[in-house]
Amino acid sequence: MKELLGLDVIELTACQDRRDLCLKVINESGQVYNIRFSNNDDSKINIDFSHVSLSISWDPETNISSLGELEIVRKIEGEEGYEVIGDFGVIWVWCNPFVPPLDLNS
């Protein structure tokens, strides 16, 4: 997970059925990585977008247009959920562990 932090978020998807939240991030060489938050049993997840402000920006150094950098993903203490922080704001997601697995020690 550590290697995905600092990459540009190019897509943010939350399906209407609330089965998952997906972020796509891209590195400087154009390789795309998927980060998916969902429950193992395919049940609905809870998502709080109350501190999100989406805008597209272009980085002339990488020639990539994105929603900004993914800054940090951390476990919500005492709960089964995660706080996703980036230039786009803060998203709280309550679900089982996500793909790729979060290494909280890196």
pLDDT tens for residues 8-19? 999 999 988 888
Are 37 and 102 a contacting pair, CB within 8 Å? Answer: no
Q: Which helix (H) or strand (E) holds 18?
A: none
Position 2, amino acid: K
Are 44 and 95 a contacting pair, CB within 8 Å? Answer: no
47-84 pLDDT per residue, tens: 999 899 889 999 888 888 999 999 998 888 888 889 99
Closest CA to 35 of 93, 105, 106: 93
pLDDT band at 105 (very low <50, low <70, confident <90, very high): very low
pTM reported for the whole predicted model? 0.82
